[in-house]
Amino acid sequence: MLFELRQYRTHPGKREQWVEMMENEIIPFQVSQGMSIVGSFTGEEEDDLYVWIRRFESEEQRVALYEAVYQSDTWLNDISPRIPELLDRESIKVTRLNPTSVSALH
């Protein structure tokens, strides 16, 4: 099992719109394609921070799900073109994590 901790920075004043897009479009679409979303968070002290965590059973599953989501017509034509107006794509930070034996997410 592996996890992705994904940290994003929104453009000034755009975080609420980003969260709405994530909760109403991006997360439901990715879940419909088989993604497992463990959590979705906003920064308490940073008004441009958005963090989410995805879980994969294996690297092979991660690769297959990336293909299913990011090469789909829905992603390429409907979702992705609208992201740059809300999100600073240059600041995206993805950290791959492996749970330890005492992790509640293990």
3-class secondary structure per residue, the chain: CEEEEEEEEECCCCHHHHHHHHHHHHHHHHHHCCCEEEEEEECCCCCCEEEEEEEECCHHHHHHHHHHHHCCHHHHHHHHHHHHHCECHHHCEEEEECCCCCCCCC
**Interval 32-52: pLDDT, tens:** 999 999 999 999 999 999 999
Enter the tokens of residue 2. Answer: 């592996």
CATH node for 2-97: 3.30.70.100
Confidence of residue 2 (pLDDT cuts 50, 70, 90): very high
pLDDT at position 22, please?
98
Prediction pTM value: 0.92
Name the residue ranges covered by the structural domains of the chain. Answer: 2-97
